[in-house]
Amino acid sequence: MELLPHRKFSFSLFQLILTVAVISLIFTYGGYRYYLINEDLAHARNQFETTSRDLASIIERLQENLSSTTIQNRDLNDFVTILKARNTDFQNEIQDISLKVFTLEKLKNTDPELLQKYSKIYFLNENYIPSELSLLNQDFVFSKNKPLQIHTRVRSYLEMLVRAARADGIDISVLSGYRSFGTQASLKSQYSVTYGSNSNSFSADQGYSEHQLGTTVDFTTKKTGETLTGFDKTPAYEWLLKNAYLFGFILSYPKANSYYIFEPWHWRFVGVYLATYLHEQNKNFYDMPKRDIDQYLIKIFD
């Protein structure tokens, strides 16, 4: 019975020694692991610091490159702006040249005779015939058995004028249109036989008549007929004074003109632009300088 306490004491001492040894081992291993962790942390810190320095260096280079690129981009933008401006100038030059070419081509295809001053000033020879002639609609002609020709480009303006006048309740028709050189010569010869030298006051010699252009007409009404007497007292004449310019027609020989007697029935197509200018300025075609008239030739059929 006395041995039992001694054995219990020995076993407890062994356990204590073993426990101390285990604890010592644990602390030793823990210290070793702590050392390793510190080593890893130090290595990681060094790598982080190295990486940070590298990143800082990269960022610095990128910023330098960005700055350089920004300058280059600005220079490039400036260059592009210059190119755009030059391109715009070039396009404007092309448009200007194209417009000039178009203008020259248009003028080349427009008969310069159409805005010449005739009436004892400018002569049309016997070979001149308008480039285009068309028969006027019989509905607008006074003498139904007498076909009338008019310049093709003028016909639509003339027919619109007559339609507009009739829509306003005006009695108006076309008595005469295009006359050839020969026709005018025969007409003047008849007048000369009948009226002698007085015919020069109301009838043009061949080559000086606006009718040869194909752009000029004589209007009449049922009341004035072919004699045209009293046409200036008709509503048709008053309507023409107020509205003919809208269709490009002007009165060639108003009162107190220097060429022929007052001919209220005689109207010439000069284009809407010129007719409007003359109407608004209260001017006569034959009193206008020729160089000013020439500016409207390109617009005559616009």
Which residue range forms the structural domain that includes residue 59? 1-109
What pLDDT was estimated at residue 31?
Answer: 72
Check residue 47 and give its pLDDT.
77
Domain C-terminal end among 67, 82, 109 = 109
Q: Are residues 194 and 227 in the same domain?
A: yes
Q: Are residues 117 and 144 in the same domain?
A: yes
Q: Please indicate, yes or no, whether residues 121 and 251 belong to a single structural domain of this protein.
A: yes
Q: How many Å apart are CA 32 and CA 26, to the nearest integer?
A: 10
Q: pLDDT at position 190, please?
A: 66
pLDDT of residue 189: 62
- pTM greater than 0.95: no
- Domain termination site, one of 109, 139, 155: 109
pLDDT value at residue 104: 53
Low-confidence ranges of the chain (pLDDT < 70): 1-11, 30, 90, 92-107, 188-204
Asked if residue 139 and residue 71 are part of one domain, the reply reads no
Regarding whether 94 and 6 lie in a shared domain, the answer is yes
Q: Are residues 36 and 125 in the same domain?
A: no
- Which residue, 209, 210, 217, is CA-closest to 172? 217
If asked whether residues 202 and 80 sit together in one domain, one would say: no
Q: Are residues 69 and 87 in the same domain?
A: yes
48 shares its domain with 126: no
User: Residue 70: what pLDDT?
Assistant: 75
